[in-house]
Amino acid sequence: MDAKDDMDIAANPNLARDLITNPALSINNPDNADSAGKPVLTAGMTFLGQFLDHDMTFDPTSSLERQSDPESIQNFRNPLLELDSMYGSGPNASPHLYDQSADGQGIKFLVEAIPDSSAVSVGGFARFDLPRNGQNTALIGDPRNDENLIVSQLHMSMLKFHNAVVDYVKSELGLMNPGEVFTEAQRLVRWHYQWIIVHEFLEKTVGQPLVDDILTNGRKFYKWRNQPFIPAEFAGAVYRFGHSQVRPSYRSNFGPVPADINSQVFKLIFNDSLPDGLDPNDLRGGKRAQLVSSIGKLSSILGMVRYEPIRRLTQSCQPCCLIW
């Protein structure tokens, strides 16, 4: 959300939800409008874009190792939109990602319920976090999906979606062999994901006419010979457009009483002035998803959002990532 967004929760008890789902309420964020100035993107779409990136591109070489010839920069991520960032190398080669219990059969993903979370959630539903090791490092297919709380919760939702589809494949399609169930569930999850990309993400990001043109007439510029690849220009420049969409602050969840503004989780995405402790009061990743919000007065946080520019995305960030 943006600093100047409507905060009159008394007038609309569902405001926190509506700010996420209704682009018209993001009118104060000019980066999220179409060419006619009409807001089309909700705050969450940014993180779907980040999630897609982590499925498509990965250049782990440091600037010291990097060759000057861009043709030699290798993309370490399979460029297909098939969720290798989530499935890793599959249940056999990446067993640490999968739930080995009797229910999980090694084909559902590991997720962790946050203890006691149902007592502080709307509707009394338990909240979940990514599985983590003893040092809070997320056990997921791509570590970048724990870069901030929102992308990590999106990753977690996708893990839960796969798990629900596994149940569906067993109960509705009648498959029982774990290998077959996994293959069918993975196919259904990928198809739903790709449908969202074509029919929602691309439409909102590049516009329906361009999407229709490519679907009807095919690609004009992206060509490959032996194997599909992600051009360095796309990963290093074009697709980083999403960095400009990142907003200073977000409502990350709802407390137990939606109408009570003090129970809302409203935080800066990154607050450099806070130490990197166990539970910093911002949305940085690599931490356990919190049980309850520890926000101070909303007005003081709003003050920070308005007047303090956020000058970096992470400590390792290069100048091209700066957001203001």
Residues at the site binding ligand HEM, with contacts judged by CB under 6 A:
46, 49-50, 53, 57-59, 147-148, 235, 239-240, 242-243, 245-246, 269, 313-314, 316-318, 320-321
The rounded Cα 199 to chain-centroid distance in angstroms is 18
Whose Cβ is closer to ligand HEM: residue 46's or residue 117's? 46
- Check residue 143 and report its DSSP letter: G
Do the beta carbons of residue 232 and residue 73 sit within 8 Å?
yes
In whole angstroms, how close is the CB of 317 to ligand HEM at the nearest point? 5
Distance between first and last Cα of the chain: 14
- Residue (182 or 270) nearer to ligand HEM, CB: 270
Is residue 51 exposed (0-12), middle (13-18) or buried (19+ Cβ within 10 Å)?
buried
Residue 105 CB, shortest distance to ligand HEM, in Å, is 34
Q: What residue is closest to ligand HEM based on CB? A: 242
Is the CB of 186 or the CB of 271 nearer to ligand HEM? 271
Shortest distance, position 74 Cβ to ligand HEM, whole Å? 10
Residue 146: CB minimum distance to ligand HEM, A: 11
Residue 193 burial by CB count (10 A; 0-12/13-18/19+): exposed, middle or buried? buried
Task: Select 121 or 249, whichever has its Cβ closest to ligand HEM.
Answer: 249
- Nearer Cβ to ligand HEM, position 188 or 304? 304
| Strand (E) or helix (H) holding 113 | strand 112-113
Angle ∠(106,110,115) on CA atoms, nearest 5: 140
In the complex, least distance from residue 48 CB atom to ligand HEM, rounded to whole angstroms: 8
Q: How far apart are CA 218 and CA 277, in angstroms?
A: 50
